[in-house]
Amino acid sequence: MLAVDIAEFTRADRDDEIRLHLRRSLYGILREALGGSGMPWEQCQHEDRGDGVVVIFPPDVAAQPIIDLFPERLGGLIRCHNRCSREPARMQLRVAAHVGPVYCDEYGISGDDVTYLCRMLDAQPLRRALSGSGAELAFIISDYVHEKLVLRRHSLTGPSSFRPVKTQVKRTLVHAWIYLPDGSPGGRQ
């Protein structure tokens, strides 16, 4: 599963028209980045979060592209968007990835692992890494994703690119790894 959030969505220089433009752009960029990474948008379940989205992948879709291909592709698409936009419409994204059971009912998605995904996305170290970097996105992955997809596989994104973080978000202890696709290992603390 993946959670994405537009940084500083409600800042003062963004009115409703710009926010709507950012939302449309986010969905287009995500659709293209996921599809180009071998994870078709149409096969996923999506839940809008106002200034972001949670994407749930079907169990038969390989998770490795989330590490190998997706961050660089997403960063490139954001860079292109930002080059063609005036300042209030430029975006930075916080992105979180985790693996675990997801429960669905008529109201949406739920479960401990969905909550953990959203807590990682809200972690202050991730926010600081992005705001202090100037990068298009900051990416945080769970310990499980780091162990299974980064350490045990030959990935385009090597283990040295990630910085460990331990923090608390609300009542949840978060043990995760931050990566900035611009090449700096996880940004500043």
pLDDT confidence band for 156 (50 / 70 / 90): low
Please check the confidence at residue 45 and state whether its pLDDT lies above 50: yes
Rounded distance, CA 19 to CA 121, Å?
Answer: 20
Please tell me the predicted confidence (pLDDT) of residue 82.
96
Name the residue among 150, 172, 147 with its Cα closest to residue 159: 150
Please check the confidence at residue 90 and state whether its pLDDT lies above 70: yes
Max CA separation in the chain (angstroms): 45
Please check the confidence at residue 67 and state whether its pLDDT lies above 50: yes
Please tell me the predicted confidence (pLDDT) of residue 187.
47
- Which of the pair, 184 or 132, is modelled with greater confidence? 132
For 102-134, write each residue's pLDDT tens digit.
999 999 899 999 999 999 999 999 999 999 788
Please check the confidence at residue 83 and state whether its pLDDT lies above 50: yes
Please tell me the predicted confidence (pLDDT) of residue 160.
78
| Residues above pLDDT 70, as percent of the chain | 94
The position carrying tokens 């945080």 is: 140
Instruction: Indicate the CATH number for domain 2-179.
Output: 3.30.70.1230
- Which of the pair, 64 or 157, is modelled with greater confidence? 64
Please tell me the predicted confidence (pLDDT) of residue 188.
42
Please tell me the predicted confidence (pLDDT) of residue 182.
66
Average model confidence (pLDDT) across the chain: 90
